[in-house]
Amino acid sequence: MTIGESNSRLLPSHRALLQTNNSTFLLWSLIFLFALRVAGQAMQRWLPQTYLPPFDAFQGSSLPYWLLLSVQLVILATMSTCTYRIHLGMLQPSFNVGRTLAWTGGLYMTGSLIRIVVGLTMPGAPAWFSTWIPAVFHVVLAGFVLAMARHHLRSPSRPEDGGRQ
């Protein structure tokens, strides 16, 4: 028996639980990666380590660090809250939210990847394109938005069915 065959034998409620567990594992993994980036930059700011890139390598914009760190902590808290609510079954899927997140995440991922490609292929590109740590972690954040979209798009409610959530 293969994994696909065993999944087809699951009760619908068990299948939904398995999908939720897979979704939350992916979401928690992306949160962990982003938290490592935030912690790495904070460590380089207040307790520099030789095994980490320099503080400026983490900085992809001209935002003051106190503002960047504040925004990053709000993002981490929001990501964690949403993922915890999915884990508990308290964040019900919504097709409309999923569609919006899919478009937003797709555009965000496209822009993030274009940023990396420009940084790799254009030697004279502005520094914003070649700050790799922020660029890669924008891909992580875009992945989180797309994973949230996936959670919502497995919703049985569709606007054409009259389902509102």
For position 78, what pLDDT does the model report? 98
Written as one string, the DSSP assignment of 116-152 is: HHHHHH-TT--GGGG-HHHHHHHHHHHHHHHHHHHHH
Q: Where are the domains of the chain?
A: 13-161
On the question of pLDDT at 163 being above 60, the answer is no
Tens of pLDDT, residues 16-36? 555 667 789 999 999 999 999
For position 165, what pLDDT does the model report? 46
Sort residue 162 into left (φ over 0), alpha (ψ -120 to 50) or beta. Answer: left
For position 159, what pLDDT does the model report? 58
